Amino acid sequence: MHEEAKPGAARLVALICTAQVLAQIGAYAWPALLPDFIPRWNLDYSEAGWITATFYLAYMLSVPFLVTLTDRIDPRQVYLFGVGCTVLGHLMFAFLADGFWSATLARVIAGIGWAGTYMTGLKLLADRVDGKMLSRAVTGHAASLGVSSALSFVIAGALSQIWGWQSAFIVASICAAAAWLIAALFAPKQARKGPREPWSWSLFDFRSVLKNRSAMAYSLG
């Protein structure tokens, strides 16, 4: 027999998936507008590639830390931090970026934001949704990334042609701010289970995971 979903679970899933789309609207604004930035900032292909790569490098280095934190603190807090970084990264790009180093810094912050929203958003849902709704939440959350990725290219290109490239990042920051408000207002706080555990760096000891063959096979496969 299937376990029934909690009351309001469908609404929460819909809201968080919507927030995820809004938070990632600007994720691919830079790649979408890259052909215009190369001549505008006199970038060579290596510099353009590094600006692109640092977004993913920041994500790769941040995600193990931020996702692991959700085992100790409410994923909602980590998610709000991640979306806040996303807002900041897009605003920095819109108003401060004028070349390689400033653009790189803005994209690094946006990459940290991505690390703090995608998997942590899924953990936020998993901790608050059960029953049949959980599988739908996972599917919907994954689909929201695809939707936001496609929209990111379309919206950035359209806004850039109409109001200039800064508008693409300004709108992205507004969308991310809306995502922050959705999570802050509608994602319920998680009740603490038991006494607060003392801080320990052992929380980030991944050796047991690396030794787990089934877990590694699932992760790499």
User: Quick one: pLDDT band at residue 4, thresholds 50, 70, 90?
Assistant: very low
Rounded Cα distance between 128 and 93, Å, is 34
Domain regions of the chain by residue span: 9-188+201-220
Asked if residue 134 has pLDDT above 90, the reply is: no
Tens-place pLDDT, residues 27-83: 999 999 999 999 999 999 999 999 999 999 999 999 999 998 988 889 999 999 999
Look at the alpha carbons of 206, 219, 79, 165 in this order and tell me if their dihedral is positive or negative. Answer: positive
For residue 109, CA distances in Å to 40, 77, 150 come to 22, 17, 21
Rounded Cα distance between 41 and 132, Å, is 51
User: Quick one: pLDDT band at residue 199, thresholds 50, 70, 90?
Assistant: low
What does the pLDDT read at residue 203?
58
**In this structure, which topology does domain 9-188+201-220 adopt according to CATH?**
Growth Hormone; Chain: A; (1.20.1250)
